[in-house]
Copies of this chain bind each other. A is one copy, B any other.
């Protein structure tokens, strides 16, 4: 069983390795990599071992080799087409979020119930929600970002799962029920903020 935390660490390794590569490094040791993301070298080696990432522990890992192995684990070879459901302020900002500008993630359309949001001519078109099921089926979309109003979220989730969506990044701060038919990751921004408040308050520096 791969935990979410472990996968998030693998993503951090990848970003750290890309930075090191940009600095001109060729090789890295597990303790350097651990230091760069604030964990122990033991944890790095454990993660690598669990994902069957190989390398020469004594001489250091070759950064390019690590990146190839990590990309294989993450399945980066295919471009993932993604739709955004709910094109209010948050939805539209996610459609334009610079951090997604990644060769393997492409937001291909947004969907909304409101007539005045529809914009077929935009770089990333915003289409009426009535077209979403057909769109998902015809284009084999498997991932959706959910950013509807709270009251619409469950209904929309039911529709997109029925149409074939398998993974949902949910920004709606309500608990959704998918009958175990998909993978839902909740981005709970208020929990992030509360955790930040806690750590700021207890900061001893």
Contact B185 A196 (CB under 8 A): yes
**A98 contacts the other chain (Cβ, under 8 Å)?**
yes
Give the distance to chain B from A136, nearest Cβ to Cβ, in Å.
14
Using A75-B197, A99-B189, A169-B196 as known contacts, say yes or no to A93 and B82 having CB atoms under 8 A apart. Answer: no
Contact A2 B202 (CB under 8 A): yes
Number of copies: 2
Cβ 8 A contact of A197, one of B74, B88, B92: B74
Using A7-B199, A142-B200 as known contacts, say yes or no to A188 and B89 having CB atoms under 8 A apart. Answer: no
Contact B8 A190 (CB under 8 A): no
Q: How many chain A residues touch the partner (CB < 8 A)? A: 62
- Interchain CA distance A91-B145 in the complex, whole Å: 18
The 9 A-B residue pairs whose C-beta atoms are closest, nearest first, are A167-B200, A99-B173, A89-B93, A90-B93, A99-B190, A11-B191, A185-B196, A183-B199, A93-B93
Give chain A's interface residues, CB within 8 Å of chain B. 2, 4-5, 7-8, 11-12, 15, 19, 73-75, 80, 82, 88-90, 92-94, 96-100, 102, 104-105, 142-143, 145, 149-150, 166-169, 173, 175, 180-183, 185, 187-203, 205
